[in-house]
């Protein structure tokens, strides 16, 4: 059962996001160290984390800025990378549609890959949770504060560890996502969506501007939805067939005689 109070829901969201917080810490540290090697000032890196709060886009933006590309290319590239958040928002919209604009804007800003994974899982288990927005808020805010802390650590101490990006610390987030995704693959639509998305991401990794990620997400969702629709259709067809077989199985001459006798007796009593 979902927790009932605002504070408990908020704490539950933060608690369930703890594995993601641990996995995201190296990313924040590496981003801060990366900014220290670019023409960006230290406060630019922290301001980017405070206002953008999108790890992959921040990495790309910092790298592109270091190469001297124009702002139009930089904005367009980060926009394409972040288009996946529209799919996340569409998935969560039925659970936050009733909230006012300030709530939806706040939760939209805090929406990340990690928060989506935790929150969508919660809403799948508790679709009618009246305090779901507080769970969402707890998950998103904990990730936000964690990202600021480790960005700052990378900015301050990144120069002392110039080869920090080569240590493979970013695998912590990959391992975290694997731990979340694998249990959900017990259901066929989710398993097919995962396999299709993974294969598409591998095959499309050479596309420019990280378009392979968007293609993989789109194909994975489409495959999962088609499988789910086919499963429901087959289930409905089997249910209708079972009912029809049940009716035909009892429609014997003796059964019809008994039913007519009951109707006559009932009619006479009336």
pLDDT at 269: 47
pLDDT of residue 242 exceeding 70, the answer is no
Record the pTM.
0.71
What are 207's two structure tokens? Answer: 């596309």
Instruction: Report the length, in residues, of the chain.
Output: 270
Please tell me the distance from the alpha carbon of residue 266 to that of residue 251, in angstroms, as a whole number.
20
Residue 48 contacts residue 57 (beta carbons within 8 Å): no
Of the two residues 253 and 163, the one the predictor is more confident about is 163
Q: What is the largest CA-CA distance in the chain?
A: 98
Residue 63 above 90 pLDDT? no
Residue 33 CA to residue 31 CA, distance in Å, equals 5
> Is residue 78 classed as helix, strand or coil in its secondary structure?
helix
Mean pLDDT of 5-30: 90
Task: Tell me which of 5 and 175 has the higher pLDDT.
Answer: 5
Give the range among 11-25, 104-118, 120-134, 222-236 with minimum mean pLDDT.
222-236
pLDDT band at 110 (very low <50, low <70, confident <90, very high): very high
Predicted pLDDT at 92: 93
176's CB contacts (< 8 A; 6+ apart) are: 19, 20, 22, 23, 114
Please state the rounded mean pLDDT for residues 31-52.
89
pLDDT at position 167 over 70: no
Q: Is the pLDDT score of 173 beyond 80?
A: no
The single-letter DSSP state of residue 68 is T
Tell me the average pLDDT across 9-21.
93
84-90 contacts, C-beta under 8 A, 24 or more apart: 84/113, 84/213, 84/214, 84/217, 85/54, 85/111, 87/217, 87/218, 87/221, 88/113, 88/116, 88/120
pLDDT (0 to 100) of residue 1: 45
């Amino acid at each position: 059962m979902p927790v009932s109070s605002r504070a408990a829901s908020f704490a539950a969201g933060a608690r369930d996001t703890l594995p993601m917080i641990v996995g995201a810490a190296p990313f924040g540290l590496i981003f801060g160290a990366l900014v220290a090697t670019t023409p960006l000032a230290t406060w630019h890196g922290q301001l980017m984390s405070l206002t953008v709060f999108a790890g992959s886009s921040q990495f790309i933006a910092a790298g592109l800025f270091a190469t001297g590309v124009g702002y139009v290319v930089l904005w367009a590239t980060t926009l394409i990378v972040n288009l996946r958040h529209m799919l996340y928002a569409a998935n969560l919209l039925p659970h936050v549609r009733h909230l006012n604009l300030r709530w939806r804007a706040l939760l939209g800003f805090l929406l990340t890959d990690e928060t989506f994974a935790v929150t969508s899982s919660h809403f799948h288990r508790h679709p009618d949770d009246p305090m779901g927005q507080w769970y969402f808020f707890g998950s998103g805010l904990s990730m936000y504060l964690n990202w600021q802390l480790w960005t700052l650590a990378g900015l301050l101490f990144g120069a002392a560890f110039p080869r920090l990006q080569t240590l493979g610390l970013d695998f912590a987030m990959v391992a975290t996502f694997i731990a979340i995704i694998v249990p959900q693959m017990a259901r066929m639509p989710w398993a097919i969506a995962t396999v299709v998305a993974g294969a598409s991401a591998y095959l499309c990794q050479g596309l420019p501007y990280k378009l392979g990620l968007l293609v993989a997400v789109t194909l994975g969702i489409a495959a999962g939805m088609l499988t789910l629709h086919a499963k429901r259709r087959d289930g409905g067809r089997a249910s209708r067939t079972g009912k029809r077989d049940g009716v035909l199985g009892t429609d014997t001459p003796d059964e019809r005689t008994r039913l007519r006798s009951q109707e006559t007796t009932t009619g006479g009593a009336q």
